[in-house]
Amino acid sequence: MEFLFRRAQPQDADEASRLVYSAGPEGFDYTFAQGGTTAPEFLRYAFLEGGGFFGYRNHVVVEAAGRVVGTGTFYSGHEYNDLSIGISKQIFRFYGFPGSLPVMRRSFQTLSLTPPPRKDMEYIADLAVSEDMRSRGIATALLERQKEVARGKGRQVYALDVSVNNPRAQKLYERLGFKVTGYNRFRGRGETSAVPDTRRMELCL
């Protein structure tokens, strides 16, 4: 089967936003489930809107047989502030006031799991592959492709944060040369939550 790697488009919203959600359902549910609205509903809205961390303009997708089967987000410290402003605007537009206030509070809490990248760092987020297409090398191929893109931008480090509940993914990253460089503890201000901690992993470029 042949795979096509391309920039995401608005028409990818249904498949791509589901994949994004699968990359971290505990954190997404904690942050974006609010007032009867589910996290997948917000992620689809954000993807279609285009900006911020979850917008289609910030995603690369993998297509097979006309279907999106993989996705990932790649950015550096250079883009981080603009992406943060973008998602803040999406939250206020989607949830309104005052519904956006608890969402913003929880989003700041989950920042402890994904510390902002440095400007010399290409950061990988929301990497996901459809369940029926796993173990076919799709994630590896996407990571290797984007690693060359990062080198072309002059980045010095390739980095990601992996859930402590996802040892399979951590083993994949270790096989590709990533090493654990830190531990990120969820800081939810004492609230009961199933959000797992993460490990920062980095690869020198």
Q: What is the CATH number of the domain that holds 25?
A: 3.40.630.30
Domain total of the chain: 1
Tens of pLDDT along the chain (205 residues)?
Answer: 789 999 999 999 999 999 999 999 999 999 999 999 999 999 999 999 999 999 999 999 999 999 999 999 999 999 999 999 999 999 999 999 999 999 999 999 999 999 999 999 999 999 999 999 999 999 999 999 999 999 999 999 999 999 999 999 999 999 999 999 999 999 875 555 689 999 999 999 9
Distance of CA 194 to the CA centre of its chain: 18
Q: How far apart are CA 3 and CA 165, in angstroms?
A: 29
How much is the pTM?
0.94
Q: At what angle do helices 25-32 and 39-49 cross, to 10 degrees?
A: 90
Span 78-126, pLDDT tens digits: 999 999 999 999 999 999 999 999 999 999 999 999 999 999 999 999 9
Q: Which of 88, 101, 103 is nearest to 28 (CA)?
A: 103
CB pairs under 8 A, 24+ apart, for 22-30? 22/128, 22/131, 23/125, 23/126, 23/127, 23/128, 24/126, 24/163, 26/163, 26/193, 26/194, 26/195, 26/196, 27/110, 27/113, 27/195, 30/106, 30/110, 30/188, 30/193, 30/194, 30/195
Domain span including residue 30: 4-204
How confident is the model at residue 40, as a pLDDT? 98
